[in-house]
Each structure stands twice: as C-alpha cells, then as structure tokens.
Amino acid sequence: MSDVALVIMARYPEKGKIKTRLARSIGEEGTLCLYQAFLTDLAWRFANWTCHLHWAYTPPEADFNAFVASLATLDASSISSFAQEGPDLGARLYHAFRFTQSRQFQRTILIGSDSPQISRTIITQAQEALDSVDVVLGPAEDGGYYLIAMKEPHDLFSDIPMSTDAVLRMTLERAQRLGLSVHLLEPLFDVDELPELLRLVHLLQERSYLAMATAAQIAQLKKESIL
C-alpha cells in the first residue's frame, strides 16, 4: 500500500446545502448536478492511483462510500472515507491530517472538491516536494489554498479565518513562526461563484479532458439555458 494519503474534503450533495453562493446564480438543481460532476471527475482521476484516496465527508450521517461508488462505478470495498470532525473548517482540516497519521501514512495531501480540473501532475509535484520541505501549499487565486500537504500534522489552522482572502498569507506566517519550510505550487482557481464557473466553462471548451463529467454537465446546463 502507498504511504501517501490523498484526502478530498467533500460535502455529501444535497439540494440547497451545497455551494450556496453559486446556487444563487444557476439555481439549486443546477448546482447539485454540477457538484456531483465535480466529485465524479475527482473519483475517476484519483481512485486506484498511486496515492491511497480518502474522502473526508460531511454531514457525518451520510453514506458517502455508497454515493461515491454509484457516481464513479467503483467497487465500494476500494473506497476509504471518514467523517469530518470539528467545529469549524480549520479544525476539520487538522483532524484529517491526524486521522491519516493514525493510519500510518507518511505523507498526506489534502485538497478540496471545488477544483475538478486539478491534475495528477499537481498531486505528484506536492508528493515530491514533501521529500525536502515540511509543508506544501497550492495557492488559490482568491487568497486561500486549494491544496495543503504535510508529513505530519502541524497545526497550521488554529486562529486562521478560513474562507477569507487572508488564509494563505496567514498560513505562511504561521508556518514561519513554527519554523516549518514551505513549498508553493502553481496557483489554481476554485469554483465558488459564477465568475469562477465561467472561467471553468472557458477552460473546458478547449480541454474537456481535464474534467469530462463536469464538461458534460456544463453542456447540459447550457442546453437547459441555465448557463
């Protein structure tokens, strides 16, 4: 088994409870279908790959294994998942690192589920960078990060105001105070609101292979005049 854990932070898709800012622009049903496509692309790309894939999901009562198996036609026995724990996002991220460490993984790479275009190449770059640094961060264009990777669970999350444009800067400052070395990957954009979705639409028009299920869902939304 690989000693590298790839953890995807995800929410069980329920109408009206996911990506609410985007839903204000394209509606709750369109948002639900689009988010399911995001998860499908991530499952297809990273299941049965070189890293051991885990889904950290919320809400805790959801049967996330069954859901992922259904959307990606994967064997449920090959899917690993655990419920997110903690009162806020920072605590849940920290818990994910502690969880994988307790399972003896030597390196953990954690990503969100809002960038279905994220490539295997980026994950490989993060994995390789951990050979020489303590922390790897993938800067998101909104001031946060789309990826964080560590060899052990350092607390880079407490007192950081998550979901703000100060997250990356404050995380780098905290890492410096803790004496941790950091490597930055290439920036990437998350899809939280309509402008980012339109960027994704443009990207997938020429490179649909980056997220084929998402590209197909975008085509359906266009057909229905939602986009």
- Domain-wise residue ranges, the chain: 4-223
Q: What's the confidence (pLDDT) of residue 35? A: 97
pTM: 0.95
Q: What's the confidence (pLDDT) of residue 137? A: 98
Q: Which CATH superfamily is domain 4-223 in?
A: Spore Coat Polysaccharide Biosynthesis Protein SpsA; Chain A (3.90.550.10)
Instruction: At 110, give phi and psi (nearest 5°).
Output: -120, 130
Mean pLDDT of 214-224: 95
Q: Residue 148 and residue 171: Cα distance in Å, rounded? A: 10
In the structure, what pLDDT confidence band is assigned to residue 3 with cuts at 50, 70 and 90?
A: very high
Contact by Cβ (8 Å): 198, 14: no
Comparing C-alpha atoms, which of 59, 64, 97 is closest to residue 80?
64
Comparing C-alpha atoms, which of 111, 100, 112, 110 is closest to residue 152?
100
